[in-house]
Amino acid sequence: MQRVDTVIIGAGHAGLATSRLLTDAGRDHVVLDRGRLAESWRSARWDSLRLLTPNWMSRLPGWSHQGPDAEGFMTVPELVGYLESYAQSFDPPVRQRTSVLAVRPVDGGYQVTTTTDDAWSARNVVVAAGPRPRVPALATRLHPDVWQIHTNRYRNPAALPDGGVLVVGASASGVQIASELRQAGRDVVLAVGAHTRLPRRYRGMDIMWWLEQIGALDRTIDDAGDARRARREPSAQLVGGLGRPDLNLGRLRELGVVVTGRLDDLDGHRARFRDDLPLTTTAADARLRRTLRTIDQYIATSGLEGEVLPPADVPAVLMSGAPESLDLRAAGISTVVWATGSHYRYPWLRVPVADVYGEIKQYRGVTPAPGLYVIGLRFMHRRNSQFIDGARHDAQTIVEHLAGADRSGPTSARVLLARDG
């Protein structure tokens, strides 16, 4: 049994951010990861992916992008290299290819057992493990001769079986993969649910710059009326890259993608879709208009009219005439790509802190179990908590709490967990 003050589970950007701050605080710790450093970025992303956030937003504790292309968007290999350089800057105690089998409470802390036959006794544990793919239950009703894959295993069009593709989900991953497949010559059907529509640039500036300026990314879960609903908001229909056209449903239809409403049922080779596409797109456009009005108001009140471009018209996406059913075999559809997001599951966590949805109860990363923390969750506290840029704030809060910098933290956390959890 090895003793350490803190075990961090996960060597992605959130785990590394926490490790950097613990190192700066002189706290003894170890970082465990099931694979290599930044493993999910190496093995669970498609080949052409670029970050949705510009390089200048890749800020971590004690680290930021220093290259000439601040407005560019990193590819996956570039991001892996960025995180490797970050790790080299402070030499974190990372144990790679060390999967956690169990975390159990023991007197005054936790016992962490792993696949390498190591066991750790730790006063604190920080869960920085990434999410797992979410696939709807109706996937089990798909005929076995239709190949199905989640976006975390999709790599490129050539890696799929010949034939058409049904992509389910129209947030960032879904629209990017649908566009890539169509431009590779595949017949593509895109089933659309609730989504967020944003332009890549507005009035001459990247949309992420505007969202930071108007405070949208600093919005906290305390400002959300329904925390669970806020945390399930779909990611934006964005694509990383300068000079690339915005990806929206209208653009995809122009490319020849067949756009439908939400996938409602599967029965062998028969797919049925809801008649909700006009309502869904109208709602997305309404949210878009509200965001752009907020930006315009910010520009006016901040005196920036002379510094940015005039207001630009962002055409509405009008959708009608979508099919409500499809015979996959007759349509030549050989593959279904599930762009249905992810969720957090911790089968190895033997501490009773899960809510009714299987997610860890927490407030600002502090759980009801003393010494147990979590980081990297979607909208964990700030709207950008899951972004590379947002982890630095949550890591700071966790390390300060862990180090006892705020002795009112545990009591306050329990009260707020009851409200938030």
Domain shared by 55 and 149, yes or no: no
Is the pLDDT score of 421 beyond 70? Answer: no
Domain shared by 107 and 228, yes or no: no
Domain shared by 152 and 122, yes or no: no
Q: Which of 394, 388, 396, 395 has the alpha carbon at shortest distance from 54? A: 388
Domain shared by 317 and 190, yes or no: yes
Domain containing residue 78: 2-131+344-420
Taking the C-alpha atoms of residue 73 and residue 56, their distance in angstroms, rounded to an integer, is 9
* pLDDT band with cut points at 50, 70 and 90 for residue 395: very high
Taking the C-alpha atoms of residue 243 and residue 69, their distance in angstroms, rounded to an integer, is 14
Q: Are 235 and 171 in contact (CB under 8 A)?
A: yes
- pTM equals 0.92
> Which domain-ending residue is among 338, 365, 391?
338
Is the pLDDT score of 257 beyond 90? Answer: yes
Domain shared by 81 and 111, yes or no: yes
Q: How much of the chain is in helix, strand and coil states, percent to nearest 5?
A: 30, 25, 45
Domain shared by 414 and 305, yes or no: no
Domain shared by 126 and 245, yes or no: no
Q: Are 410 and 370 in contact (CB under 8 A)?
A: yes
Residues whose CB is less than 8 angstroms from the CB of residue 1 and which lie 6 or more positions away in sequence, other chains included: 111, 119, 120, 121
Regarding beta strands 333-338 and 164-168, do their DSSP bridges make them parallel or antiparallel, or are they unpaired? Answer: parallel
Render pLDDT for 32-61 as a digit per residue (tens, 0 to 9): 999 999 999 999 999 999 999 999 999 999
Number of alpha carbons in the 13 Å side-chain half-sphere of residue 331 = 21
Mean pLDDT for the chain overall: 92
Domain shared by 186 and 310, yes or no: yes
> Which domain-ending residue is among 289, 304, 338?
338
* pLDDT band with cut points at 50, 70 and 90 for residue 407: very low
Domain shared by 106 and 192, yes or no: no
Domain shared by 89 and 183, yes or no: no
Tokens encoding 253 = 């239809």
Q: How many domains does the chain divide into?
A: 2
* pLDDT band with cut points at 50, 70 and 90 for residue 11: very high
Q: What integer is the mean pLDDT of 76-100?
A: 97
- Percent of the chain's residues with pLDDT above 90: 84
Domain shared by 208 and 269, yes or no: yes
pLDDT of residue 318: 84
pLDDT of residue 216: 94
Render pLDDT for 177-217 as a digit per residue (tens, 0 to 9): 999 999 999 999 999 999 999 999 999 999 999 999 999 99
Is the pLDDT score of 113 beyond 50? Answer: yes
Render pLDDT for 271-329 as a digit per residue (tens, 0 to 9): 999 999 999 999 999 999 999 999 999 999 999 999 999 998 888 898 888 999 999 99
Q: Are 399 and 18 in contact (CB under 8 A)?
A: yes
> Which domain-ending residue is among 338, 354, 376?
338
Q: What integer is the mean pLDDT of 108-114?
A: 95
Domain shared by 267 and 386, yes or no: no
CATH code for the domain in which residue 367 is found: 3.50.50.60
